[in-house]
Structure 1
Amino acid sequence: MMLKIIFNKIVILAITLFLVACSTKESPKIIDIEPSIHINQLAFELSGPKSAIITSPVNSDLNELTFTVHLTNQVDSVFQGKLEKLSVFDEWQAANKDLQRVYHYRADFSALKQAGNFQLAFIHQGQKILSSSFFIDEQALFKHTASALLDYFNGSRNDEEYNYQQDQNIRIFGTQRYVDVRGGYNDAGGDSGKYLSHLSYANYFNPQQLAHVTWALGYSYQAIPHLYDELTLTSQIQSEIFWGADYLHRILDPEGYFYMTVFDQWGTNNAERVITAYVGADGDYTEDYQSAFRQGAGSAIAALARAAMIADATGKQGEYSAKQYLADAEKAFRHLMQNNADYCDDGKENIIDDYTALLAATELYRATEDNYYLEAARERANNLAGRLSAEGWFISNDINSDNLRPFYHAAEAGFPIVSLSQYLTIETNAGEISQAKQVIAKHLAYQLELNAKVSNPFNYARQSFKRYNNGILSSEHQEGFFIPHANETNYWWQGESARLSSLTMAAIIGRKGIDNEQHKIELANFAQNQMDWTLGRNPYDISMLNGFGVKNPIPYEGLGMFKGGISNGITGSKNDDDGRGIEFAPETDWHNWRWVEQWLPHSTWFLLAATEMAK
């Protein structure tokens, strides 16, 4: 009997503790905290959208409360508005350390069109709540960041301070051939490897890395040359363009393919630095080092063609000439037209081949006016049109597959729209133009619809995905904020700063051809909000752009950080395979790379987005 009584008491105690735990989870501890202003800590465009998000404890209602905007260090306001209460949102409660649920409010001051340095404020319970300062001006974001971005790329050069001499005579893995591949850019703050792309074994996650820097620099320079002149940055950006193009010449094999990776297993295990490809988190070397379009070759061709045009137009060049850059681009393109599928790890092209080859063909047509490249561009644009689902998301895999895989990408989700928009600048056929515009409009409308499906106070770009576990792609179509951790790479997920900037560029460049005026307004807000997130309007109030804003990510020991470099960013919870929840820098050592490390694609896409906003 005594044992039974003890057992019953234990059961009652366990149930009580369980109920307390559940109650605590359902009703987070209420503590006395002030409302917080989450805002872009750098700059807004004079005529563009401008807003802040205010979070406030559930026991204080700020709806319709007056907020003001005033010049920094001045009392008189230049703008007044009312806070707008947003729908309830609990998914990112972890960003508030689970201490208390909060309500979200929007302070919209888009109507303010005065240049200067400002702060946003409101009075709560007799106390003034003040935001960080921010600029408003024409072309504000570009003017404030262009110099630092160029300094970041320059500081990321793989030059005499790194492996420059070693890379003049480096082995191709699996052979006794040695080649000169000096130059280029270090991939990240903790990695002096050089990548046209990586993750090729996963097939659907290839990011455009080193070569995309050169294309982006060339695009930005030619889009707004007057601003580079005004900021006395013309010589600097030309130097970076040709530094990148020279490296692309060196990694072009005489046979016509590019070497994908110069790699040393992240400087660990005394690994030999070689030309190779690699698989998995251990960086196992493979001999699949020939780049397919999706493995960086498409971006390399586009970059070389763009560099050739700039060299011709300016009379400037790097170690090699405009003629050489263009010859390299044409040689590589024609070689891949015959061999691309052979270089794909699964032997099949997918959506990344389509949008990178489209950009390559578009740039080559610009450079040569050869209809061969226009026809190639049309084929790739038609492929992308065929990949658009009825709902508006793109299909990554074979469009005849029994299990269609949505396209999602942590670094370049906006690239298909960017490539199609570039293609429209060379196309003359009315039918082809109409089709491309319809694809752009439908996909961007889908993105807006996806964002609005759930409460989304920060207007963070949501995405469609299917999980991939144990070699099997799930048939369940899911939607969420961050990429799932259960994906084809088996290890790679990280913050999505580059993805957000790529979508900003896609929204701005794509909206120009859209007739729906409401969608154009919504896309302008969407584009600005993605940049806002990177610049501090996020639940952690962290500006990912180093050297700008009131709080930047803190590097772990051994990590290099440059002003103008952008950290990977915020992710879903590290313990959630679907990428639900929210997380930032929870580790104490190099494992924080997923959140803190700077990576070339982030600043590359940020420059492109800032350029598009400045246009």
Structure 2
Amino acid sequence: MKILVNQIGYGINSESGKASCRAVLQSITSEKLPETVTLRNAEGRILSRFIAEKEEAVHGWKNRKFRVVNFQTPEGGPYTLEAVSSDERGVSAPFFAGNDVVASSVITDILSGFTAGRSVGITDSQDRSIPFYGERKGTVDVHGGWYDASGDTSKYLSHLSYANYMNPQQTPLVVWSLLDSREHLKESPFDMGPRLSLRFLEEAAWGADFLKRMQDPEGYFYTTVFDVWTKDLEKRQICSFSTQAGVVSDDYQAGYRQGGGMAVAALARSSRVLDKSVTEACEFSPSDYFEAALKGWYHLEEHNLEYLDDGRENIIDDYCALLAEVELLDAGADTVSEQVIVSIRQAAELRAGNLIRRWLPDADCFRADDEGKRSWFHASDEALPLIALMRAVETGALGKALADEARDTISAALKAERKRALEVSNPFLHPRRLVRVPGRDERGQFFFP
């Protein structure tokens, strides 16, 4: 028997002054799980006892049974939970309850992880003169950015373009998310402090400089700097690739869904948020970022379909383009002409309308395609349609009627997520996907198909 808790900790509810906690008893034997759980403090003293919910199993998760325990604790710790059956005693890992316990425990480590993943050293030197795959001559300076993973020193705006519905937003989303997270933390009760705030900005600036370098003089962005997973410096090149075989091609122009839209969004937001305290150490200025973002947007408005593998836009293009337009409006309100603002706002309202119309009330899901044959599910970007609509509403990018429709869509989608998560045994409250694809039966399931 295991007692599974959130080992990072539980946050305090401001109204009750206590933490609302959830733990899970798990067994891989046939013996019945205990009905009661004991909460102890660091000295082992019993603080309270709680009744576990009924025993349950999850379809497809073999040989495991669960009981959920919902309970409250006062601020403090370390606490442990204990449960005893006829022949077994289980004790949880220690945990704490406190204000902002999660944020204070993980934010510094997350930022340090990005800093450690920067492209530096001999790789960085090589990337100052990178060739193109194919017939194009010359090299470009695309140093900076972050490695894709500890085992992959390539750098991606996106990949999986050949699959059309699976493009993840990568480096540009990191830059945008760093800036978005910092602004939300500043508005929260969490005491971020000037040094931690600066770390967010410094890491975002590192990425913004890289995105600026990844823009071609024509206005589009390069999708990848790729070495076919070899870590061979001489194989690094600007290219696109497909399949696990790493078949490279010269289709390296990033469409909206291929990293181009998020690159525009990230650069536009960087131009508004990053100030001289950070950019004096950068290669580019906030105005450089904005000019690159606007140039990239104009280019994609004209050429996006040319860069898409199937020549058709889908939901990913819509939310990436909407975020790009929202951030351009937010950053450029006082710096560009009214005519430019009007054209960007019209495009934003078009994209927001597209997303709203993609919501299928009868199916409680978004459609990823135009025909409704494919539902929206994604390994990393699943919430981005809602985030794009939320951002459009909160920045005032939409007219009142459309903003109201966006709010209704957001509300319906969140209610559907909750409904789908709770309609089956789900001890860990995992989100569930509604999977609708051509040629297969529609189904709800945990995790990415």
Q: Same fold (TM over 0.5)?
A: yes
Alignment correspondent of 2:219: 256
Alignment correspondent of 2:93: 132
Question: Which of these residues, 195, 203, 212, is aligned with residue 232 of structure 1?
Answer: 195
Alignment correspondent of 1:344: 308
The whole-number CA distance in structure 2 between the counterparts of 1:446 and 1:454 is 14
Q: CA deviation at 1:315?
A: 6.7
Q: CA deviation at 1:316?
A: 4.0
Alignment correspondent of 1:276: 239
One-letter code aligned to 2:389:
L
The whole-number CA distance in structure 2 between the counterparts of 1:325 and 1:89 is 49
SS at 1:89's partner residue?
coil
Question: Which of these residues, 156, 159, 165, is aligned with residue 125 of structure 2?
Answer: 165
Question: Which of these residues, 382, 395, 400, is aligned with residue 367 of structure 2?
Answer: 395
SS at 1:377's partner residue?
helix
Q: CA deviation at 1:69?
A: 2.1
- How many residues matched? 431
1:187 paired with 2:151, answer no
1:361 paired with 2:325, answer yes
SS at 1:85's partner residue?
coil
- Asked if the contact 1:86/1:457 (under 8 Å) is kept, the reply is no
One-letter code aligned to 1:56:
S
Alignment correspondent of 1:69: 39
1:214 paired with 2:175, answer yes
- Asked if the contact 1:447/1:461 (under 8 Å) is kept, the reply is yes
1:385 paired with 2:356, answer yes
SS at 2:168's partner residue?
coil
- CA change 1:176–1:141 in 2 (3 A) is same
The whole-number CA distance in structure 1 between the counterparts of 2:215 and 2:232 is 29
The 5-angstrom pairing of residues 308-457 of structure 1 reads 308-312=271-275, 316-317=279-280, 318-369=282-333, 370-389=341-360, 390-398=362-370, 401=371, 404-427=373-396, 429-457=399-427
- Asked if the contact 1:276/1:286 (under 8 Å) is kept, the reply is yes
- CA change 1:220–1:286 in 2 (3 A) is same
Alignment correspondent of 1:492: none
Alignment correspondent of 1:306: 269
The whole-number CA distance in structure 2 between the counterparts of 1:116 and 1:37 is 17
Alignment correspondent of 2:16: none
The 5-angstrom pairing of residues 476-555 of structure 1 reads 476-484=441-449
1:546-581 Cα shifts (integer Å, max 9, x gaps) = xxxxxxxxxxxxxxxxxxxxxxxxxxxxxxxxxxxx
Task: Looking at secondary structure, tell me which structure has more strand per residue.
Answer: 2
One-letter code aligned to 1:445:
K
1:373-412 Cα shifts (integer Å, max 9, x gaps) = 32222111110111111322111112xx2x6101111112
SS at 2:265's partner residue?
helix
Identity across the alignment (%): 33
SS at 2:448's partner residue?
coil
Alignment correspondent of 1:579: none
The 5-angstrom pairing of residues 103-114 of structure 1 reads 103-109=65-71, 111-114=72-75
Structure 1 unaligned blocks of 5 or more: 1-34, 94-100, 468-472, 485-615
The whole-number CA distance in structure 2 between the counterparts of 1:386 and 1:462 is 22
Alignment correspondent of 1:7: none
- CA change 1:84–1:313 in 2 (3 A) is farther
Alignment correspondent of 1:247: 210
Question: TM-score, normalising length from structure 2?
Answer: 0.90
SS at 1:407's partner residue?
coil
Q: CA deviation at 1:415?
A: 1.1
Choose 420-429 or 344-353, whichever is displaced more: 420-429
1:417-461 Cα shifts (integer Å, max 9, x gaps) = 111111111236321121011111111222222222322222211
- Asked if the contact 1:391/1:446 (under 8 Å) is kept, the reply is no
- CA change 1:59–1:232 in 2 (3 A) is same
Alignment correspondent of 1:608: none
1:194-218 Cα shifts (integer Å, max 9, x gaps) = 0000000100000001111111111
Higher relative contact order (CA 8 A, sep 6+): 1
SS at 2:123's partner residue?
coil
Q: CA deviation at 1:228?
A: 6.8
- CA change 1:231–1:66 in 2 (3 A) is farther
- CA change 1:112–1:266 in 2 (3 A) is same
